[in-house]
Amino acid sequence: MEELLEIARKASDQVEVYSLDQTADSVSFENAKLKDIDSKLQSGISLRIIKEGKLGFAFTRNLISGEEFLQNALDSLKGGVEAGFDLPATRDLAQLDTYNPAIESLTNTTIVDECNRICEMLAPRTNGQINVDAGRVTSRMRLLNSNGTDLSSRSSLYYCRTAIMYPGSYSSISRLVVFKHFEETPDEHLNFILHTYNKSLKEVSPRGGKMKVLFLPDTIYGLIWRLQSATNGKNIYEKKSPVSEKLGQEIFDRQLTIYNDPLNDDIPGARSFDDEGTPCRYFPVVENGVLKNFYYDLHYADKLKASPTGHGFRSAMWGGDSIATKPTPSLDHLFIKPGDKSLSELIKSIDRGIVIAGVLGAHSGNIPNGDFSMGLSPGLYVEKGEIVGNVKDAMVAGNVYEVMKNVLAIEDTLYPAMMGTFPAILFDSVSVATKS
């Protein structure tokens, strides 16, 4: 990397070199039987250059010639992408414990044994199809630039998702666990899946209308996605955000505090710097219902004459190749502050309503404006504090700036989920459409 940096330095004003090495092992069980074992090893390098105010970019999985690689980046300057920012000179960052060496001794045999254990525990107690996906991921990244930044990060992850599928559908009750090293899935998670599935197995057809709706952690992303879009520096710059003039104003219920915390080392993936070398920090987006901040990478901070906030990551909503992706504003370490009610207490407080355990079509609706219209996959119907069955062909719709003003209660526990680490949240007066 140092050699590539020096070569590129001679032909550019500023240079950034990013490398990533990643290994992944995965195991999948379908219908309580081993379906697949897969192992992957991949690495790559990407190069960003700034020359005469323009940005060039190139990436490769197999660096053979530094000169040819640089030429690809120089050729991309013809695209005319403006770069008014300077690459940061970053040093003396917080030290995080993101890698557990115990992950190295984890074998696929151990992962298979754990999946078998889960299936053997659940199978005698349910007729549903049991699916388990588990695996480990280790990664090492390094970032160099011509302004003296030389940063690296190493991380380890073990994950396991257990699901019980409803007959004749792709809907399920599931739960994900993540650790920095191998740990068995706790019995409380497996009992939650089993109990919730068995209680909701009956298909019911309640009438629709406005009612209490409980979003489980796995479905919160359908709402948070809208907030991420509205507070993204790119959409602020392009004037696509409905909250661009609402900093300091109350936009949600006061019970809601939503923040980004890359420094939280309790779960895998903590970071002290983003993919551009900007230091990361605790970052409130909404605090007690009040909109506190927009988030930027280097590019959009420059466009808006703001300071970069440490949110320039090589990521995308539905995944993708980080080597081939340029940094963009991203909230990659989101949390919602927990409340003071257990999940069972939240359900018992529902006289008539829906528990959303999965969604389809979370992308439907005007995302920047906060609109959503999502299919329930599954939706669980609750009467008098008890789950009585699952609802087919039902939808929930609304606007986050209305729905998230009507928070009844928030769960007291956080769970890893898509887009962050969240509790379940109970909302009042949400529109639900059903066949009836």
pLDDT digits (tens, 9 = 90+) for 144-159: 999 999 999 999 999 9
The yes-or-no verdict on residue 435 having pLDDT over 90 is no
* pLDDT tens-digit series, residues 382-421: 999 999 999 988 999 999 999 999 999 999 999 999 999 9
- What confidence score (pLDDT) does residue 311 get? 97
Q: Are 431 and 371 in contact (CB under 8 A)?
A: no
* pLDDT tens-digit series, residues 30-55: 999 999 999 999 999 999 999 999 99
- What confidence score (pLDDT) does residue 290 get? 98
Percentage of residues in the chain with pLDDT exceeding 90?
Answer: 92
Cα–Cα distance, 260 to 299 (Å, whole number): 20
Buried b (16+ CB within 10 A) or exposed e, 48-63: bbbbeebbbbbbbeeb
The yes-or-no verdict on residue 364 having pLDDT over 90 is no
- What confidence score (pLDDT) does residue 315 get? 82
Nearest 10 degrees: Cα torsion 386, 389, 394, 398: 10
Buried b (16+ CB within 10 A) or exposed e, 70-106: beebbebbeeeeebebebbebeeeeebebbbeebeeb
State the pLDDT confidence band at 317, using cuts at 50, 70 and 90: low
Report the chain's terminal Cα–Cα distance, integer Å.
63
Cα–Cα distance, 155 to 22 (Å, whole number): 10
Q: Which of 269, 332, 322, 329 is nearest to 45 (CA)?
A: 322
81 backbone dihedrals φ, ψ, rounded to 5°: -70, 125
Q: Are 216 and 357 in contact (CB under 8 A)?
A: yes
Cα–Cα distance, 306 to 304 (Å, whole number): 5
* Angle in degrees, 0-180, between the axes of helices 187-199 and 108-122, rounded to the nearest 10: 40
Q: Which residues contact 280 (CB under 8 A, 6 or more apart)?
A: 262, 263, 271, 272, 273, 274, 310, 333
The yes-or-no verdict on residue 4 having pLDDT over 80 is yes
The yes-or-no verdict on residue 63 having pLDDT over 90 is no
* pLDDT tens-digit series, residues 158-214: 999 999 999 988 899 999 999 999 999 999 999 999 999 999 999 999 999 999 999
The domain defined by 2-196 folds into PmbA/TldD fold (3.30.2290)
Cα–Cα distance, 55 to 81 (Å, whole number): 5
The yes-or-no verdict on residue 320 having pLDDT over 80 is no
Strands 425-433 and 407-410: antiparallel
- What confidence score (pLDDT) does residue 303 get? 96
Reading phi first (left if > 0) and then psi (alpha if -120 to 50, else beta), residue 361 is in: left
Domain parsing of the chain, residue ranges = 2-196, 202-436
Q: Which of 155, 122, 116 is nearest to 28 (CA)?
A: 116
* pLDDT tens-digit series, residues 80-93: 999 999 999 998 89
Looking at every residue in the chain, the average pLDDT score rounds to 95
The yes-or-no verdict on residue 23 having pLDDT over 80 is yes
The yes-or-no verdict on residue 278 having pLDDT over 70 is yes
Q: Between 364 and 197, whose confidence is greater?
A: 197
- How far apart, in Å, are the Cα atoms of 324 and each of 88, 300, 332? 21, 20, 18
- What confidence score (pLDDT) does residue 17 get? 97
- What confidence score (pLDDT) does residue 261 get? 98
The yes-or-no verdict on residue 251 having pLDDT over 90 is yes
